[in-house]
Amino acid sequence: MSDLNLRARVAPADPVKLVPDPTTGTLTGSNGRYEKRLTDLEGLYRDEAAFFASLKDDDGAPVYWVESSEVEPGPGGLITGISVLEPGRVGAEYYMTRGHLHAEADRSEVYTCVHGHGVMLLETLDGRSEAVELRVGETVYVPGHWIHRSVNVGQERFATVFVYAADAGQDYEVIREAGGMRSLVVADGQGWTTVPNPDHVGYRG
Ligand SMILES: [Fe+2]
């Protein structure tokens, strides 16, 4: 049987149109959502006193959420979605996502900023650390083998549209085991900067 015939036997999935609304942080056409509240994020921020103080004023609204679309779950498919982070800080640290390494570590990802002003914090297991600033219309390509986390360093919601391989998966433990990421994204009085995280003990591997 020719390659052409083999290909013809696969029933292609239907195309999907996705419409992000950066103001409301929604993605019309998506089929999945998760959200994280402050109470879900204990241990993420270094300043425990500031964290528990901010819980007192917490209204229970999500700090960040992701709406995503998975159409083809196999290795050839892509997951696309919107990631939305509210503005705010715990102590000196800006609101951020937990961050992860892809479980299939060589899978890459693309993020395009569609609202606000943020930073993609990127680190490798062998000690490289980079903070890529993103404003509306700007894209960062996150190569495989880079741990990545979004940080909102602006005054409004920071929203990105992302695309990554459907079989990538997420490993969140790699950051927790290391005592957090190597760098912290903090306010310095003028804006944002990165400082070394004193609790970081190095990544496994
Ligand atoms: Fe990712």
The Cα 29–Cα 81 span in angstroms is 10
Structural domains of the chain, count: 1
Predicted confidence at residue 47, as pLDDT, reads 96
CA of 136 to the centre of ligand 1 (A): 20
Q: How confident is the model at residue 191 (pLDDT cuts 50, 70, 90)?
A: very high
What order do you get walking across the sheet with 109-115 strand by strand?
Answer: 32-37, 62-70, 78-85, 158-165, 109-115, 139-142
CA of 13 to the centre of ligand 1 (A): 24
Q: Given a cut of 80, is residue 4 above it in pLDDT?
A: no
Helix, strand and coil percent figures for the chain, each rounded to 5 = 10, 45, 45
Whichever domain contains 44, its CATH number is 2.60.120.10
Measured in whole angstroms, how far is the alpha carbon of residue 196 from the centre of its chain? 20
Tell whether 203 is covered by a domain.
no
Strand partners, 134: 118
Q: How confident is the model at residue 44 (pLDDT cuts 50, 70, 90)?
A: very high
Residue showing tokens 């715990």: 90
Tell whether 107 is covered by a domain.
yes
The Cα 79–Cα 171 span in angstroms is 16
The Cα 86–Cα 23 span in angstroms is 11
Predicted confidence at residue 8, as pLDDT, reads 62
CA of 164 to the centre of ligand 1 (A): 7
Tell whether 87 is covered by a domain.
yes
∠ CA 8-9-15, rounded to 5°:
70
CA of 34 to the centre of ligand 1 (A): 14
CA of 8 to the centre of ligand 1 (A): 32
CA of 171 to the centre of ligand 1 (A): 9
∠ CA 170-175-177, rounded to 5°:
115
Tell whether 115 is covered by a domain.
yes
Whether the CB-CB separation of 80 and 110 falls below 8 Å is answered with no
Tell whether 204 is covered by a domain.
no
CA of 201 to the centre of ligand 1 (A): 22
Predicted confidence at residue 22, as pLDDT, reads 87
Tell whether 201 is covered by a domain.
no
Token pair, residue 82, equals 């919107």
Predicted confidence at residue 115, as pLDDT, reads 97
In sequence order, what DSSP letters do the residues of 7-43 get, joined into one string? HHTS-PPPP---EEETTTTEEET--EEEEEEGGGGTT
Residue showing tokens 């993103």: 134
List the domain range (segments joined by +) for residue 136.
3-196
Token pair, residue 45, equals 């921020």
Least confident of 9-13, 115-119, 146-150: 9-13
